[in-house]
Each structure stands twice: as structure tokens, then as C-alpha cells.
Structure 1
Amino acid sequence: AGLYAAIALKRARSDLEIRVVEQNPADVTFGFGVVFSRQALTFLRKDDPQTADLIESHMKHWSDIAVIQAGQRITIDGIGFSGIGRLELLELLQYRAHALRIEPEYETLIDASSDLSGFDLVIGADGFNSSVRRAESLSFGEEITLLQNRFAWFGAEREFENLTQAFIGTPYGPMNTHHYAYAPGRATFIIEMGSDTFEASGFGQMREEQYRAECEMLFASTLDGTRLIANNSIWRQFPTLSCRHWFSGRRVLVGDALHTVHFSIGSGTRLALEDVIALVAALREHDWSLATALPAYQAVRQPIHEKIARAGDRSALWYESFGEHMRLEPWQFALSYIRRAGRIDAQRLRKIAPGFAADLEAQNIGFDS
């Protein structure tokens, strides 16, 4: 989001002097793939078709998702997603930035002690652990809560047919994996479990190579002989972050520095880029006056984000008790899964997933209530 903010600002005003600071080297990122919902980069195409074309040509697309429960694989049609490698996405944005004569400063750390007084505007796009936000946390009104489930992001050297959710019983308790391909021969593989299962597994006392090997055994049928790839693959609790105020003086936040949405609905990267687009639009519409542009940015974006955040919260709540849902028979479980965020009623389900709806009716499973 920070790199794209520089691109969007330079496209809006070529005379701006922009400094982009990144603490990591140019060719380093944590994580594996980025997933977008069915609309992929439609939101970006309207504002910046050149960048959208560049990114979409490198994406993998799939039209269905799969849910595996009690050894049964159920396909849910019409719920499409697109994926791309995190590093590849960064490289494409670096290419666009270079074309606009933007040269980021890599391996440069900005912290709470950094003097940022010489800048007209400071955009904090530095993620959940944002130094820009933490330097004035009271002014931004940050609120943080931790969910109870534990999860770790791995990669896998194989492709999967589509985005898949696999739920399994283990000697320690129920676990699940979210996995999807993002490049030829590469996939993201997220493993999640409840706090009780995590304690029983002993993963918290193991070294990374130990719990990675154990997870390979537990998910052997899903991995099909492929090994997991680690990249800062530590066990985490998802942090839900919100801020009452999106700006403070000359500082303004975007993306995960401002708000987090549970990864199960695949909207984090999109929200961050949309924040940037809305911020730059507000600056242009208000003749680059921070006094009116920054409040306008929050006024426009906050209701949109809150709607998505509510869906993310409902989805996260479902995952927090997914072991209880696993008591359902597979088709009932799949229906519970697809409705977890509260956005799909019977009419919409028939429209977007007619094959799955027909399969449910063939199983005499009603979904009109």
C-alpha cells in the first residue's frame, strides 16, 4: 500500500517530492501469496488501468472453492478468487514506481523517535506494528483485541486446483488449513487450530523445524508428499485492530496500520489499496488541503470498511469454533461455512453457486431459513 501510494500520488501530481521508506531489502517479504476476491482488481482498474493490467497478467484465477470435511470433498461453484505471489506483486509495483522515477529507500527503519516534521504529509502504510501509529496511539484511538485461535503461514511446493479449506481431526484436536496456488508450483498453506488444540500439540514449545515436520505428517494426505516451506512461520493469534481516528495532524494511516480484517475473507490487500485510492482522491478533490481532505478520506472510507469488518468478524467467530461445526455432516458443514460471514442468503446462494445449491437440494438440505 505504501508503494502504491507513491505511485498514485505521482500520477496525480508529477511535481510532488515523495520519499518511500522500507525497512526490508527490495527482494524480501514475509508470507507467500496474496489472494483477491472474485472481482480481483476491478477496483484498481477504474483508477489505474495500466497497473491493473500489469498485475492481472501475472495472476492465477479459479472459479470454485472446495471444502473437505470428514474426508469428503465438496465443491462450491461460483466463489472465484485470484492469487499472486507477494514478492511478485511487490516487484511489479517497484517496476511501476521506477517508471515514475520513484526510488524507494530500502533497509531504512522509521521508528517512534524518527523526526518526520519536515514532511507535509506522512502516510503510515507500515502494517499492524506501525511505528507511525504507535508514535501517536492515543491520538489515533487504537483498539486491539486478540482472537484465541493459533495460526501459522507456510508455503508448499505444489499447486492446488482451487482455494481449499480442509478440516481434519488429529490426536490433539481439530485443525484446518486454508490453501491456494499463487504461482506455478507454489501455494500458500495456512494451518489453524483452537487454543486447546494448540496447547495439546505442544507446538508452542517446539522449534520451527519440529512443528513444521509434525504438521507435514498431520496434513500428509493434503500435501500429497510435498513438504511445507517456512518463512517467518511462527504461531500467531490474529489481532483485530481499529482506530477511531484515521489521521492525526499530518499523519494518516492506510491498510493494516489502520485496521485489520480476518484473513478468512481475503480482503486485506484490497482494502489497503482501496484506502490509498480514496486518500489520493480526497487530496485531489480538496485541492491538497489536509485540513479538509483527511476528514473527507475517513468519512468516505470508514462506512465501507466497517461493513467489510463486520463480515470479517463474523467469519472469524465461525473459525474460532470450527471444531464444533465439524460435528455437522459434510454438506451441512459446507453450507455453514459458506454462510459464515452473513452475506449469503438463499437467493444469493442460488444465484452465485447454482451447482452447490442444486447439490444441497438433492441432499434434501434446506437453506431458505
Structure 2
Amino acid sequence: MRIAVLGGGPGGLYFAYLWKKRHPAAAIDLFEQNAEGATFGFGVVFSDQALEFLRADDPDTVQAIAPRMESWNNITLNLRGESVEIDGVGFSSIGRLELLTILQQRVRLAGVAPRYDTAIGSVEALQGYDLIVAADGLNSLVRRSFEREFCASVTHSTNRFAWYGTGKRFATLSQTFVRTERGAFNAHHYRYSPDMSTFLVECDAATWQAYGFEHKSIEQSKAICEQIFAATLEGHPLLSNKSVWRNFPWIWNERWSHRNMVLIGDALHSAHFSIGSGTRLAIEDAIALTKALEAEANIPAGLARYENERKPVVKKLVTAARTSADWYEHFPEHMKLDLMDFAYSYITRSGRIDDARLRAMSPAFMARYEASRTRS
């Protein structure tokens, strides 16, 4: 089988690795338009459950990744100079470039040589392949070329965010909410290596306009964010890597394949960064596609199976991500709550955690929250 994989992110790399490892005779060409070692962003985060899914299917890759990861068991929320920890919420993180480097090594060991600095200008350039796996991200060439056939939908959240890094080390995955005279900001921050952290800054549209970020350079925006979060950063500067202000894009495709082309990862769907599942979903897509193709006698049947089995799982998680994102769209209003009510609103925002689950998962937090309700 001849396979073309578009995109050298986690999803594309992992599918190429997995298929070649299990089918050594397959001819796989992986095309990535950017240079090797180029990446957007800083760290990526996985929940404990996300790592377990990969461990079950590919313990060797987890063994390669896990020693490079930073891990913690609590979430910390900071509001009006007060803090509260929510226990029992385990996460691990790794630098995006480091994750890509590990996957690149595994792809090469399996026998695939990625072609970097290779932009594919049109789908017609890929004739002759039995299967085209579009792992080419939010601006997917394949999806854009056949939007009607994929029943593609692309919308955007109203909030703006900029993705920075910093040398400040944070003990846990943390959220810091700050109100200024011109509006409210939120920072999502967590360490992803012994000496580096992700620091993603978010604000609503009104605040973004009030600060005139539309007319600010990347350096000017960074300086403003450093000032707003000076107490959190404790003198550490923010670091930029294409850190422009963005609206989060919501990608969804009702049909997942067309002819011999199939979508995975961000080309297929997006999940808001507040639930930290984008990389997980892309890798899970690669696993599901591999298994579906192996279970059927031909490619069309395998692609149909991939969609039928995977879509309900993804739709459930994307729905939770949209609910979570909606909470963030209104976070300045939530900031009016007292600390414990705010924290409870935050941890239950996706609709997947009720009081019974919260008591079992986060007993220390829930005891503190219920005590605060008794006092009030």
C-alpha cells in the first residue's frame, strides 16, 4: 500500500510510525511544509487518563515520552490575591518540540523518512497513492479543497488568546485571573520541563479592544502581558514564539473521508485548550484509523469503520470542550463570585463532573467548598 501523510505534527507522525511498524512493506511518504525543529507554541499537556490510553496500545512510546514529562496532581486557581487547590486532578506535560522530536525518532526507526520543507500545493499532486491521511492541521489543504464533501464547519470563539512561554516554574497546572481598569485577563500556566512553563494569556473581546492589541506588535503585546501578570511571573519575562493574538477555531467535519482521503487531528476537529486534549485526540485518531483499516478488507470499508466507531467518542469530548470554552467566554462574570464558588464553577464547567464524582476525585477541595457553603 502507498500512503501519503500530510502534516508532521503528533497525529501525522504517530500514524506513520504506527502503520509502518505494523506493516513494514507499506510505502509511506510524510510531507511537512515547515522545517524540522520548527513548531508553534511551547508545552502540551495530557491528563492522566490520556496517557493511559496510549500505554494500553503502545507502552514503548509511553516509556520514551514519560521520563521527559513533568507531572502533578492538583490544579491551582488564583483570584484577587487568594489561591485554592483542587486535588486529585492529575496531569503531565512535555515541550511540544520535545514530543515531536521523540515521535520523529520513532518514525525514522520504523523506516519512514519525513520530508520537511515540502509544501503540497494541491491534492492533484498526490495522485498515485492508495490512501491520503490529512493530518495537516487547522488550515488543512485537503479539508479546504473538499469542504462541501466533508461537510466542513469552521467557526471561532470571541475570546482572544496569545501563547507564550516563561522560565518561571509553576508547581501545578494553574489559572490566574486578573482584573484591570480596562478589563479582565486569565493566564493558563504550567511547567513542561524543569526550567520552562507554558503561559497562555486570554481575554475577552472587549478587553482586547480596550488595550488596543489590534495595533500592538508582538513585543508590545508581550510587554503589556508581563506587566499585567507581574506578580505571577515574579520578574521572569515572557517568551514569544509566533505569539500573536488568536481566536480559537472550532473545526468540525460531518464526513470524515472522501474518496481515498481521510482527516485526523485538527484537520478534522478541534478541542478547546482549556481541556488539554488536542494532542491526545490526534494520537487517538491515528490509533483508531490504524485499527479500522486493519479490521476491513478494503480502504473504503476501513474509512467508514473509522468514522462510525470514532465519531461518537470525539463528539462527546468536543461537546465538553465547547461547554468548557463557553465558561471561559464569560469568565469576567464568574470572577465576581467568591473564591470557593468560583473554583466550584470552574471545576464543574464542562458538565462532566457532578458533586458525587467531585467528592471522590477531590475530597480535600470538596470538604473546603462544602464548609464554605455551610458558613454562608
Please confirm whether the aligned pair reaches a TM-score higher than 0.5, indicating the same fold.
Answer: yes
Query: Which position in structure 1 is the counterpart of 2:105?
Result: 95
Give 1:207's match in structure 2, choosing from 217, 232, 235.
217
Residue 111 (structure 1) shift: 2.7
**Which residue number in structure 1 is paired with residue 326 of structure 2?**
317
SS in 1 for 2:143: helix
Question: Greater CA deviation, 330-339 or 49-58?
Answer: 49-58
Corresponding residue number in structure 2 for 1:144: 154
Instruction: Provide the residue aligned with 1:350 in structure 2.
Output: 359
2:54 matches 1:51: no
Q: Please state if 1:217 is matched with 2:219.
A: no
Quick one: distance in 2 between partners of 1:323 and 1:183? 31
Q: Per-residue displacement from partner, 1:13-32 (whole Å, max 9, x unpaired)?
A: 11000001111111111100
> Once the 2 structures are TM-superposed, how far is the Cα of residue 303 of structure 1 from its aligned partner?
0.2
Q: Which amino acid in structure 2 is aligned with residue 80 of structure 1?
A: G
RMSD across aligned positions (CA): 1.1
Count of paired positions: 365
Asked if residue 297 in structure 1 is aligned to residue 297 in structure 2, the reply is no
- Name the residue aligned to 1:286: 296
The residue number in structure 1 matching 2:238 is 228
- Which sits farther off after the overlay, 337-346 or 40-49? 40-49
Unaligned runs of 5+ in 2: 1-10
Partner residue in 1 for 2:373: 364
Q: Distance in 2 between matches of 1:39 and 1:53?
A: 16
TM superposition shift of 1:114: 4.7
Superposed CA offset, 1:41-74 (max 9, x none): 2111121111111111211110000011111110
2:247 maps to a residue whose letter is Q
> What code does the residue aligned with 2:254 have?
R
Distance 2:362 2:277 in 1: 20
Question: What is the one-letter code of the residue matched to 2:342?
Answer: F
Cα displacement string for residues 95-138 of structure 1 (whole angstroms, at most 9, x for unaligned residues)? 11121121100000013355111100000001000012111111
Which residue number corresponds to residue 343 of structure 2? 334
Unaligned runs of 5+ in 1: none
Contact between 1:140 and 1:244, CA under 8 Å: does it hold in 2?
A: yes
Structure 1 position 132 matched with structure 2 position 142: yes
Equivalence for 1:2 = 12
How far residue 365 of structure 1 moved from its aligned partner, in angstroms, is: 5.4
Residue 286 of structure 2 is aligned with which of 264, 271, 276?
A: 276
The secondary structure found in structure 1 opposite 2:28 is coil
Please tell me the residue identity of whatever aligns with 1:317: D
- On the 8 A contact 2:260/2:300 being kept in 1, the answer is no
Alpha-carbon separation, structure 2, partners of 1:3 and 1:131: 17
Cross-structure match for 1:187: 197
Q: For 2:128 and 2:249, how far apart are their aligned partners in 1?
A: 32
What TM-score, normalized by structure 2, do the two folds share? 0.95
Instruction: Give yes or no for contact 2:123–2:141 (8 Å, CA) kept in 1.
Output: no
- Which TM-score applies when normalising by structure 1? 0.97
- Alpha-carbon shift at residue 255 of structure 1 (Å): 0.4
Aligned letter for 1:247? S
Q: Could you tell me which residue of structure 2 aligns to residue 71 of structure 1?
A: 81
- SS of 2:350's equivalent in the other structure is coil
Counterpart residue type for residue 32 of structure 1: F
1:111–1:132 Cα contact (<8 Å) kept: no
Instruction: Please list the CA deviations of residues 180-209 of structure 1 after superposition, one character each: whole Å capped at 9, or x if unmatched.
Output: 000111010000000000000111111111
Partner of 2:6: none
CA shift for structure 1 position 260: 0.5
Q: Specify the SS of the correspondent of 1:90.
A: helix
SS in 1 for 2:21: helix
The letter for the 2-side match of 1:183 is: S
Q: Secondary structure at 1:238's aligned position in 2?
A: strand
* Percentage of matched positions with identical amino acids: 46
Residue aligned with 1:128, SS: coil
Question: What is the CA–CA distance in structure 2 between the aligned matches of 1:132 and 1:12, rounded to whole Å?
Answer: 26
Q: Equivalents in 2 of 1:13, 1:190: separation in Å? A: 40
Q: Check conservation: 1:40, 1:82, Cα contact below 8 A.
A: no
Q: Distance in 2 between matches of 1:177 and 1:17?
A: 44
Q: Alpha-carbon deviation of 1:82?
A: 0.5
Classify the secondary structure of the residue corresponding to 2:171. Answer: coil
Query: 2:20, 2:111 within 8 Å by CA — same for their partners in 1?
Result: no
Counting strand residues as a fraction of each chain, which structure ranks higher? 2
